[in-house]
Structures are given as C-alpha cells and as structure tokens.
Structure 1
C-alpha cells in the first residue's frame, strides 16, 4: 500500500488542505473507492477505513491481483468533518454537487476538479453515499440511469436491491453521474447509517465491495455466493408523508416487511403529547427508507415503501 496526496489547496495562514489516497497494486486502473464527501458522513469514512484494513490484509497474503490498481480515498471533506458541519464550512456548498469541477472556480469546484482529474481514469468507481434526508435505508446499490449504467456489474455486489435513479437536473453535477459520462462504471452504495457508526452495516458493505472485486479478478479471495438482487427505479418507491408537523415516533425500521393497514408511525403534538396523525401502510411491502430524527415537518417523506 502507498499513501499519497491526491489534491492540495495551499493556505496562507494555516496548514494546507490535503486529500489523501491509499493505493494498492499497480497496472490497469481497475477501481477507485470514495468515502465521505460531507462532514457528517462518519459511517462512510469508517467503512472506507475497514475496507483499507481488509485490503492491507489481502496484500500481505499476496491475494491482490498483480496487474490491477485500486485507489481508496476515505474523505473529500475533512475540514467539515473536523467541525461537525455537513457541507463546506465557509460557504455551505456541497462537493457532490460540483462535479466534474472547475479548476478556477470556488473552493468546492476546485476540489471536485482536482480529485476528478485523478479518479476519472478508473474503469470502476464506488462511492459510499448518504441521502439528502436523515434516515436509514435498506442496504442497496444505486446507479444513475444515464444510458451508460451497468446493471449486470451492479449485481456482483450481492446486495439485496439495485435502484436505478432517474436523474434530476441537480444530479448532473454529482460524482456518480459524471463518472458514468466519463466512461467509468459507477456505483453508489448505501448502508443503514450516516452520522453514527454501525459495525454490521459497515461490514456488509465491505463484504459487498470485496465480492465485486473478486468477480472482476482484482483479488483472489472467496467471498461466498452472490445473492440475487431486485432491480427497480426510484420512482417505484411509495412515499408516506404526514400532513402535520410534530414529534415523530416510528414503529418500524428499514428492512421490515409490513402489511396493508399496519400502523407504521405516529405524529405527536410537541407540547401536549397527543396523537395528531397516524401513518398506515397502504399496501404490503418492505420499509426501504425510514426517517430517524425526533421531529418532522408536514409533507416530509418519512417512510418509503417498496411494494411487494
């Protein structure tokens, strides 16, 4: 393994801003893995750390392919993580809305451009992602539906679901979208957490990446059978939205199977404690996403169901 600086922004008064990468092997640029882009993505950087740990073990056992290069970048936004702020500290911009970047632009545009210059050369790209709303997902692979998406490769992760994301205008500035446009097979992996560490979820994603690497002959390691994945578009998810704002009390979790009419959550009056609203399942299905903050605004999607 080699540690290297992928990108640097010089500073007049403080230490330079640096993005570090961990490179394994040499030869064909086979796979790049990107961790956290936002300051609250602790689970994403932790998952990268566990993957690096496993790759070091495989390297020590001579189980990495001799002619493949793998690059892992745990974080693109360490400054925001240091002060527990989700976006870039000085102007509140999102690095994952700046790709492919602009070398003469604002700071986050320059970060995106500097990093993308390196990572766009890889055949495969994996991003450990988080959702724009706080909550827990069923673990899944998400791909932008650009016309360049590779669903068959996505099956090699062995995660239970593959979501084809129909791009909206703002999605065209994300890493996943631009990776595909620059001819990288790109995949976003979602686990069950973002701003806290969940060991089981991190281990599940690490195993899925190793399964993918084994299928593409980057490592020599037995990862078990590859389970079948269900493929669907994000528009097939049914969102449940309360009409009232208040304290949110969920009665289900992501991955739970629910039946028609089942009580899934209640909205409570924040001052008096009485029930303002009940949310029930309109059909049988699986809880694919579940809001996990104590308060909720009206018309917010708190549960997304994948119907049976």
Structure 2
C-alpha cells in the first residue's frame, strides 16, 4: 500500500487542505489502473468514509497475501471534503457549494471546481470507478447501485456487485456535473453505490458494501477473493418508483419499513397533529410492490414523499 496526496491547497485559517489516496498493487509506472473507489464528498457522509476506511484495511490485508491479480492497481480515496466534515457542514465551508456538482472541474475556477479538476485528473483513465454516494433525501432505502443513462452505462456489470437492485435514471441537468457521469463519458465503467445510510455509521450495512466492492473486483479479475455470491440484482428504472406522499404536515408515524412487500391501499403510515395528537391523514400505498424508500424524520411536510414503492416487482 502506498499513501499519496491527490490534491492539496493552503488555507490561511486552518492547516493545509489535503485529499489523500491509498494505492494498492505494484508501484511501478505503466501498470493497469484497474479500479478507483471514492468516498465522502460531503461533510455529512460519515457512512461513506467509514466504508472506505474498512475497504482500505481489507485491501491492505489482501495485498499482503498476494491477492491482487497481475499488474492491476486499485486506488481508494476515502474523503474528498474533510474540511466540511470537521466543522459539521454538509457542503464546502466557504461558499456552500457541492463538490459532486462541479465535475469535470476547472483548474482556474472557484475552490470546489479546482478541487474537482485535480481529483478528476487523477481518477480518470481507470477501467472501473466506484463512488459511495449519499441519497438526495433523508430516510431509509434499500442498498443499490445507481447510474445515469448516458448510453454508456452497463447494468450487467452493475449487477455483479451482488446488491439487491440496480437502478437507472434519465439524465438530469445536475447529473452532468457528477463524478459518475463524467467517469462514464470519459470511458470508465462507473457506478454509484448507495449503502443505505449517510449521517450515521451502520456497521452491518458497511460490511455488506465492502463485500459488494470486493465481490465486483473479484468478478472483474482484479482480486483473488472467496466471497458470497450476493443477490441476483433486479434491474429497475427510476420510473418504476411510485412516490407516496403525505397530504398534510405533522408528525410521521410509519407502519412499514424498506424491502417490505405492500399492496395497493395498504396503510403505510399516519400523519399526526403535533398539538392535539389527532390523525390528520392516512398514507396508503398507491401501488402493489416493495418499499424502496421510507422517510425517517419525525415530521413531514404536506405533499412530501413519505415512501417510494417499486411497483409490481413481485409479480
């Protein structure tokens, strides 16, 4: 294992900012940049950082046992935004910008754009790119691999992680500024892996995420590693997800959890008046299917999504 500085910059208020990476495999020039794994880009992505820390630990053990095949190199970058993490902010400290909306970056741009440019310069060219991303809304959701539909995505490769679902989504404007999208259009088979947690560390989910990456690397011929086969992934599109919304604001009381099979009309939760405890509205499923996402906050706004259901997946 070799530790390297991916990017550094001075700061007049704090110590020097550094992005650190861990390189596994033979250390000579001209070797095969096989796989790059990137962790936390936001200051609240503790689970993503923890997963990468466990991955670094496991890869070090595997490297020492000779498990890295041939000239393959694996680069792990656990954290891209430790400044924000240290001060409890989600986005970049000085201007509240999101690093994962800055790619491929600009070497002469604003701080996060410069950071993205230097990071992308180092990670492009790998055969496979894996980003441990965080879900755009709070709540519980089923672990899955997600990728934007660029025309270069491969659901068959994504299924080799052995996670329950592979989800594709239509291109949105902000997708074009993400690491995964730019990896894809520059020739890297790229995947966003969602472990099921963000703000808190879930050791069990983290262990499954590490296993998923090691399983993928093994199936791609990068590692020699005996692993469980995992799931036969179901391929779904974002359009297969049906949002079930709350019709009133208040306390949210849930009756179901993720991965639970539900029927149309089934009571999923209730919205409670915060002042008198009366039931303001019932939240009932609008489709037969499986709960993919469930809000976990104590309160909910009117017309906010309380659940997402994968419709008719069980039929």
TM value normalised by structure 1: 0.97
Aligned residue pairs total 308
Note the aligned Cα RMSD (angstroms). 1.1
- Residue 59 of structure 2 is aligned to residue 55 of structure 1: yes
Mapped to 2, the partners of 1:248 and 1:96 lie a distance apart of: 31
Q: Which residue does 1:307 correspond to in 2?
A: 311
Mean CA deviation greater in 4-13 or 150-159: 4-13
Mapping for residues 36-51 of structure 1, pairs under 5 Å: 36-51=40-55
Listed one character per residue, the Cα deviations across residues 104-143 of structure 1 (whole Å, up to 9, x for unaligned) are 1111111111100000121100011111111111111101
Mapped to 2, the partners of 1:241 and 1:261 lie a distance apart of: 13
Match of 2:156 among 137, 152, 158: 152
Counterpart secondary structure, 2:190: strand
Mapped to 2, the partners of 1:225 and 1:209 lie a distance apart of: 12
Q: What is the Cα deviation at residue 13 of structure 1?
A: 4.3
Mapped to 2, the partners of 1:244 and 1:260 lie a distance apart of: 20
Q: What is the Cα deviation at residue 14 of structure 1?
A: 2.8
Q: Which residue does 2:24 correspond to in 1?
A: 24
Q: What is the Cα deviation at residue 259 of structure 1?
A: 2.1
Q: What is the Cα deviation at residue 207 of structure 1?
A: 0.7
Q: Which residue does 1:289 correspond to in 2?
A: 293
Q: 5+ unaligned residues in a row in structure 1: which ranges?
A: none
TM value normalised by structure 2: 0.95
Q: What is the Cα deviation at residue 52 of structure 1?
A: 1.0
Q: Which residue does 1:190 correspond to in 2?
A: 194
Counterpart secondary structure, 2:73: strand
Mapping for residues 248-259 of structure 1, pairs under 5 Å: 248-259=252-263
- Residue 3 of structure 2 is aligned to residue 14 of structure 1: no
- Residue 302 of structure 2 is aligned to residue 298 of structure 1: yes
Mapped to 2, the partners of 1:271 and 1:116 lie a distance apart of: 51
Q: What is the Cα deviation at residue 284 of structure 1?
A: 2.0
Listed one character per residue, the Cα deviations across residues 163-216 of structure 1 (whole Å, up to 9, x for unaligned) are 001111111111111110111100001122110011111111111101100011
Pair 13,43 (structure 1): closer, same or farther in 2 beyond 3 Å? closer
Mapping for residues 129-140 of structure 1, pairs under 5 Å: 129-140=133-144
Q: What is the Cα deviation at residue 11 of structure 1?
A: 2.2
Q: Is the 8 A contact 2:19 2:80 kept in 1?
A: yes
Mapping for residues 77-96 of structure 1, pairs under 5 Å: 77-96=81-100
Mapped to 1, the partners of 2:310 and 2:252 lie a distance apart of: 21
Listed one character per residue, the Cα deviations across residues 219-252 of structure 1 (whole Å, up to 9, x for unaligned) are 1111133531111111110001112111112111
Counterpart secondary structure, 2:305: coil
Mapped to 2, the partners of 1:92 and 1:274 lie a distance apart of: 39
Q: 5+ unaligned residues in a row in structure 2: which ranges?
A: none
- Residue 236 of structure 2 is aligned to residue 232 of structure 1: yes
Match of 1:222 among 219, 223, 226: 226
Mapped to 2, the partners of 1:18 and 1:53 lie a distance apart of: 20
Q: Which residue does 1:75 correspond to in 2?
A: 79
Q: Is the 8 A contact 2:129 2:188 kept in 1?
A: yes
The list of structure 1 runs, each at least 4 consecutive aligned residues, that deviate by more than 4 angstroms after superposition, is none
Q: Which residue does 2:280 correspond to in 1?
A: 276
Counterpart secondary structure, 2:221: coil
Q: Which residue does 1:98 correspond to in 2?
A: 102
Q: What is the Cα deviation at residue 260 of structure 1?
A: 2.5
Mapped to 2, the partners of 1:91 and 1:116 lie a distance apart of: 21
